[in-house]
Amino acid sequence: MTKIELNAFRRTLKNRQTDLGDRSGSREALTIETSPDELDRIQHASDRDVALSNLERNSDRLRETRGALSRIDAGTFGICIGCEEGINPKRLAAVGVILYRLPGSRRSGTEYVPE
């Protein structure tokens, strides 16, 4: 992969990292509110569950993005961690944080698939 391509991936991932970092700061919905009404308590609990799921998902994406940036710095970005062969650049462009090649993408027909 050329330096120009790596720099383009780095810029895209840095932008994603900034965006995800901005989103993870919203934790107001996680506060526990007391209410005498049972339906309000159920609604607040449901809202907290959704907010927690969103926070966990954003945290996972931020971790993946930071990992991809670290792999760029280490010179291993775009290399499958299972078989150590190159990952299709089109797939990298679409996803950006992938670690593995697609099953069947090797010439031998076998592929490392994580469990």
**For the chain, domain boundaries:** 3-77, 78-115
Helices (H), the chain: 3-23, 38-74, 89-95
| Percentage of the chain modeled with pLDDT above 70 | 81
User: 67 pLDDT exceeds 80?
Assistant: yes
User: 78 pLDDT exceeds 80?
Assistant: yes
User: 113 pLDDT exceeds 60?
Assistant: no
pLDDT digits over 80-111, tens only?
A: 888 888 888 888 888 878 887 776 555 443 44
CA-to-CA distance for 109 and 70, rounded, in angstroms?
30
- pLDDT, residue 66, reads 92
